[in-house]
Amino acid sequence: MRIIPAIDLIDGKCVRLTQGDYAQKKIYNENPVEVAKSFEGAGLQYLHLVDLDGARSGHIVNWRILEKITNQTGLQLDFGGGIKSDEDLRIAFECGAKQLTGGSIAVKEEKTFLKWLSLYGPEKIILGADAHSGKIAVSGWQQITELDVISFIQSFVQEGIEYVICTDIDKDGMLAGPSMGLYQEILAENKSIKLIASGGVSSIDELLQLREMGMEGAIIGKALYEGKIRLRDLAKIT
């Protein structure tokens, strides 16, 4: 299982939100490039970079930081937040992203998202399935739809999607454990996907459980910044 630390960006700074609430923002570092370098220095190979400004504004915003991280580290980045147009996609790939995550675009402009999937292939395009109480959330988690997360994922599996990041918003930033039951249900219904857990991870034991379940990856954010999980301990499962 891939271990994927997360950096969320607002105003170019490394932050974390609680349950996606922009009003509950905590700044952890004003230099996300240095944070990325610390992850690489600990032996990690991947990074989940989220442009929260972009998610809220509807277009990519923090592309310069993406470019700096890819230029100054060897980390393989998946990037999301504000990817709404062909131009956004072009910028993100040109700035060094290895994969791009589309969530809101997959809901609001499905044809565009499927065009990207066809053009770039399932190794490059990740489906973002962010859920609140089992329903898909969009626009930086500010809008909750009536789409069931399981059915939503299944509809894109039929279109050839392989990578899925599923964030349980109720768990995100709470350090109360990930949604094991939800992930088990998703994997039971979609055995072919490479499912990446996101939200709530707070311990090495939980990461081991996710690995045992068959998750392709696990994203860790607040647990690292709050010292619940130490970078050096991640060597046990990488």
- Detail the DSSP E strand segments found in 86-150: 99-102, 125-132, 135-138, 143-148
Q: Which two tokens stand for residue 223?
A: 């647990």
Contact call for residues 14 and 7 (beta carbons, < 8 A): yes
Identity of the amino acid at 191: K
Domain 2-236 is classified in which CATH homologous superfamily?
A: Aldolase class I (3.20.20.70)
pLDDT at 237: 74
Model confidence at 15: pLDDT above 80: yes
- Quick check: 212 pLDDT over 70? yes
Tens of pLDDT along 183-204?
Answer: 999 999 988 999 999 988 999 9
Q: Would you list the DSSP string of 56-82?
A: HHTS---HHHHHHHHHH--PEEEEESS
Residue 145, strand partner residues: none
Per-residue confidence (pLDDT) for residue 238, from 0 to 100: 64
Tokens 């609001």 map to which residue?
A: 108
What average pLDDT does range 64-86 have in this prediction?
A: 96
Could you give the 3-state DSSP secondary structure of residue 113?
A: helix
In 3D, which of 183, 78, 58, 83 has the Cα closest to residue 131?
183
Residue with more model confidence, 24 or 28: 28
Please tell me which of 69-78, 142-151, 217-226 the model is most confident about, judged by mean pLDDT: 69-78
pLDDT value of residue 37: 97
Q: Which amino acid is at 43?
A: G
What ranges do the domains of the chain cover? Answer: 2-236
The owner of tokens 């509809």 is: 155
What is the pLDDT at residue 183? 95
Q: In this model, does residue 32 exceed pLDDT 80?
A: yes
Residue of higher predicted confidence among 141 and 110: 110
Residue type for 10, please? I
Please tell me whether the overall predicted TM-score, pTM, comes out greater than 0.85 for this model.
Answer: yes
H or E element in which residue 10 lies: strand 2-10
Helix axes 86-94, 63-72, angle to 10 degrees: 30
Mean pLDDT, to the nearest integer, of 71-80? 98
The catalytic residue positions are 8, 130
pLDDT band at 110; cut points 50, 70, 90: very high
Taking alpha carbons only, the member of 48, 12, 2 closest to residue 210 is 2
Model confidence pLDDT, tens digit, residues 129-181: 989 888 998 876 678 889 999 999 999 999 999 999 998 887 766 677 899 99
Contact (Cβ atoms closer than 8 angstroms) between residue 121 and residue 97 = no
- Contact residues for 43 (Cβ-Cβ < 8 A; gap 6+): 234, 235, 238
Of the given ranges (119-123, 138-142, 201-205, 231-235), which has the lowest mean pLDDT? Answer: 138-142
Range name among 1-5, 46-50, 59-63, 129-133 with the lowest pLDDT average: 129-133
Q: Is the pLDDT of residue 63 over 80?
A: yes
Residues 6+ positions from 50 with CB-CB distance below 8 Å: 6, 7, 8, 9, 79, 80, 81
Residues 122, 81, 24, 75, CA torsion sign: positive
